[in-house]
Amino acid sequence: YTSGCGKGTLFYNALDFSGRQKIKSKKRLAAKKIIDLMHNFQKISQGFRKTGGVHIAALSDGEGILIFKEYIGRHNAIDKIIGEALIKGIKTEGLTILSSGRISSEVIFKVRRLNIPIIASRTAPTDQAIKLARYFGLTLIGFVRLGRMNLYSHPERIA
């Protein structure tokens, strides 16, 4: 089981799967709300407007953005929002992650550890990310732009 993200091939540890139950969140979001959140999320990125060369990530409660970060690496932007949530003691269960970058299997493992039921990106997920999202009960959304989106797993959370 491999993923070609970053510097090379990553082999997952069996412990990434052991003891991990599926996400059983009753969280639901309206499709329009996700589109609006993504639109607002992109508008606040000054770094992208200035350079066109940064990734952005946010943690949302479904109504607004709780934490927003910019960084050159897509993984690092997500790590920064997760880190701030942990430092501030924000309970992540039932929240949503927004990202500008491709969603890889490594990102799915991070999101699953925090029991976050929904992740949405402006771009595409990898094939392995889709498979893992289905396995873990995570709602994975890609290509959120121009008033539309693609649902790859667990669409029951999107109204």
> Which residues carry out catalysis?
5
Which residues have CB under 8 Å from 157's CB, separation 6+? 25, 27, 28, 29, 117, 118, 139
Which residues have CB under 8 Å from 54's CB, separation 6+? 45, 47, 48, 70, 71, 72, 77
